[in-house]
């Protein structure tokens, strides 16, 4: 079965850093990324990365603070989150798609969703 397994979430103080990991069971995805969802809100784009060439997109709210990277040999994708703010509090979902575009991944383009990992940032 295709699986995306997130890890690394937790409770941190504002200004702290946290790294999320996503392990993918397949190597043929073209895009892997992250969405997040706060309670009562829609899922928002966070970041994505091209599996083939490593090009990335970041959501406007996280540019300059977050970075996405990949380790194709290990089928892993990472989300490095720095300078965390309380408004970053959300469930973070690893996502994968069989297609890739230069613009940010849209929800409707996601083929697989991970189970989500909670990130809570206290003030």
pLDDT in tens, 53-75: 999 999 999 999 999 999 988 88
Give per-residue pLDDT as tens, 28-52: 899 999 999 999 999 999 999 999 9
Average pLDDT over residues 15-30: 92
- CA 63 to chain CA centroid, Å, is 13
Torsion, Cα 91 12 8 71, to 10 degrees, reads: 100
What's residue 114's pLDDT? 96
What's residue 42's pLDDT? 94
- Tokens at 31, concatenated: 């895009």
What's residue 2's pLDDT? 78
Give per-residue pLDDT as tens, 93-119: 999 999 998 999 999 999 999 999 999
Among candidates 48, 45, 80, 86, which has minimal Cα distance to 64? 80
Reported as a pLDDT band with limits 50, 70 and 90, residue 26 is: confident
What's residue 34's pLDDT? 98
């Amino acid at each position: 079965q295709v699986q995306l397994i997130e890890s690394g979430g937790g409770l941190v103080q504002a200004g702290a850093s946290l790294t999320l990991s996503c392990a993918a069971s397949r190597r043929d995805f073209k895009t892997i990324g992250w969405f997040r969802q706060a309670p009562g809100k829609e899922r928002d784009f966070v970041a994505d990365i091209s599996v083939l060439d490593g090009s990335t997109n970041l959501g406007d709210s996280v540019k300059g603070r977050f970075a996405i990277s990949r380790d194709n040999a290990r089928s892993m994708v990472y989300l490095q989150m720095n300078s965390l703010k309380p408004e970053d509090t959300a469930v973070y979902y690893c996502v994968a798609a069989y297609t890739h575009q230069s613009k940010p991944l849209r929800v409707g383009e996601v083929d697989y969703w991970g189970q989500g990992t909670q990130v809570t940032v206290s003030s």
